[in-house]
Each structure stands twice: as C-alpha cells, then as structure tokens.
C-alpha cells in the first residue's frame, strides 16, 4: 500500500455519496466553500469524500480544493447520467475514456468543443485507471454482486434485465437533458458519445491541468429524453447509490 496515496471521491448528489460515507472509518469533516469534505480511511487507504453540487463550475471548484487543500493523488467522480448512444441502457455503467464539454463553443476563434488555451477537445483518462475500473466492475457484474445488492424486484421496476459496462466518450455541460430534441442535437454533433451529464469533463480538465489521474464512472439513470425527470430521483435512491457504494469499495484497496 502506498502511504502517500490519497483518493478523492466526488458525487454531484448527496444521495450518491451516502453509501460511500458509510464505508469510511476514522472520519473527520472540514467545511470549505460551502462543501463538507469528509476525510477517513477506506480499505486502509486515505480517502476524502465530498458532495460537489451540480454543474461544471461547482465540480471544478471542488476538484481544485481536493487537489490543493487535501493533496489527493487521484480522483474518482461517480454518479448518474443520461444515456445517449443506442447501445447504452438504463442500469448500465459507463467508464469515461474521453470527456468533452458539449456546451463549449468559442467559434470562430477556435473549433467548436475546443478548450481555450489547451488546444484539446477531449480530455483522456489514464489508460491504467480505465483498465482497473473496467476489470473491477466486470468482476462485480460477473459475480452478480451489483444486482444482488439492489434486488431483482427493484431492477425489474426499471426494466433492467441485464447489466452491462461500457468504456467510451462522456459529454458534460450545464444543462439537464430532458427532451428527445436535446438528445438528437447532441448525437448529431458528437455521435460517439455514450452518455451525458453535468460535471465529468470539468473535473477531467482540472485533473489534466494538475496532472492528477482521474476516473469518471456513471450509472445510467434515464434515457436523456422526455421521461428523464420522472426516472431520475427514484433511480438514484434505489439503484445508483447502491451500485456506487459497491463499485467504490471494490475499486479502492
């Protein structure tokens, strides 16, 4: 075990981190910038857990605090997302290989989606982090650990009959997708996108600029369409929060 290893864990909803909070031991809390950072130990690893709040600005500020104040050596962002690609279904898990801000547009100064001054449109996650997340989640799926933790009846309520994990592009922006039109516009411009959310690409940019390895793991809660507001709150409470606790517990050791 690396004695200098400090893992930062972020979730954009308080419900998304409650299960992880229960796993921590020897906890202390610090309030900075209206956020409560909970420090503790998880499987013998120093861990700092925080509810970041919604959106790219909130997530960026939180990530920077984890790096500069708590000296995290790696960062995990997890939570729910809306499915965009046709191969991705509710209940699936998406690991971000590339993160892009779908709402950044500085044309004609530079190309659409390009991050000013970085000359990049996508921020890529470290291959080792992606590989570890994939092998960890695959093991949980093959041993039915996630489905057992949630329960067959709950999964059935959401029409989830088979759990899958995907690795690919995640798009982030300060917009909650709740119409088919929103979804179609995104897929027209970024057809390789697997899912959409509001924080991951911002966290990825901060980590890139500080040279901190990161992992973004999203649980698909809805289809990013007209039914999204209905599905979203119940799914977080009954499904994704339980997924997240299992995944993080297995990932940090």
Domain at 118, CATH number = 3.40.50.1580
CA–CA gap between residue 20 and residue 11 (Å, rounded):
10
Does residue 25 lie in a domain region? yes
Q: List beta partners, residue 214.
A: 75
Whether 98 maps to a domain, the answer reads yes
Lowest mean pLDDT among 150-164, 180-194, 237-251: 150-164
**CB 140, CB 245: distance < 8 Å:** no
pLDDT at 236 over 80: yes
Angle, in degrees to the nearest 10, between helices 127-142 and 241-251:
120
Q: Is residue 35 part of a domain?
A: yes
The pLDDT of 171-176, averaged and rounded, is 92
Domain assignment of residue 1, yes or no: no
Beta-bridge mates of residue 219: 80, 93
**Residues of the domain holding 167:** 6-251
pLDDT in tens, 103-160: 999 999 999 999 999 999 999 999 999 999 999 999 999 999 998 888 888 888 888 8
First-to-last C-alpha distance (Å) of the chain: 8
Contacts with 87 (C-beta within 8 Å, 6 or more apart), sequence order: 166, 194
CA-to-CA distance for 194 and 85, rounded, in angstroms?
Answer: 5
Question: What is the total count of domains within the chain?
Answer: 1
What is the rounded average pLDDT of the residues 198-212?
97
Dihedral of CA atoms 167, 173, 178, 179 in degrees, nearest 10, equals -90
Report in angstroms the alpha-carbon separations of 119 from 58, 126, 211.
23, 19, 16
- The mean pLDDT value for 82-96 works out to 93
22-53 confidence digits (pLDDT tens): 999 999 999 999 999 999 999 999 999 999 99
Q: How far apart are CA 14 and CA 241, in angstroms?
A: 10
The residue among 134 and 15 whose pLDDT is bigger is 134
**10 inside domain:** yes
Segment 16-27 shows an average pLDDT of 92
């Amino acid at each position: 075990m690396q004695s200098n290893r400090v893992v930062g864990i972020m979730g954009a909803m308080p419900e998304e981190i409650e299960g992880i909070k229960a796993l921590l031991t020897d906890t202390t809390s610090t309030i900075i910038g209206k956020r409560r950072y909970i420090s503790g130990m998880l499987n013998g690893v120093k861990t700092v857990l925080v509810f970041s709040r919604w959106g790219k600005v909130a997530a960026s500020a939180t990530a920077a605090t984890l790096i500069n104040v708590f000296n995290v050596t790696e960062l995990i962002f997890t939570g729910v997302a809306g499915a965009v690609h046709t191969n991705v279904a509710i209940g699936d898990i998406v690991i971000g290989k590339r993160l892009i801000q779908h709402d950044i547009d500085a044309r004609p100064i530079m190309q659409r989606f390009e991050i000013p001054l970085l000359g990049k449109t996508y921020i890529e996650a470290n291959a080792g982090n992606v590989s570890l997340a994939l092998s960890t989640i695959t093991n949980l799926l093959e041993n039915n650990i996630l489905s057992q933790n949630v329960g067959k009846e709950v999964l059935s309520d959401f029409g989830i009959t088979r759990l899958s994990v995907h690795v690919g592009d995640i798009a982030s922006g300060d917009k909650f997708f709740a119409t088919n039109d929103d979804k179609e516009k995104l897929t027209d411009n970024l057809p390789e996108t697997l899912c959409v959310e509001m924080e991951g690409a911002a966290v990825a940019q901060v980590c890139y600029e500080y040279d901190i390895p990161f992992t973004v793991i999203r649980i698909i809660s809805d289809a990013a369409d007209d039914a999204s507001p209905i599905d979203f709150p119940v799914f977080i409470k009954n499904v994704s929060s339980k997924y997240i606790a299992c995944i993080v517990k297995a990932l940090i050791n």
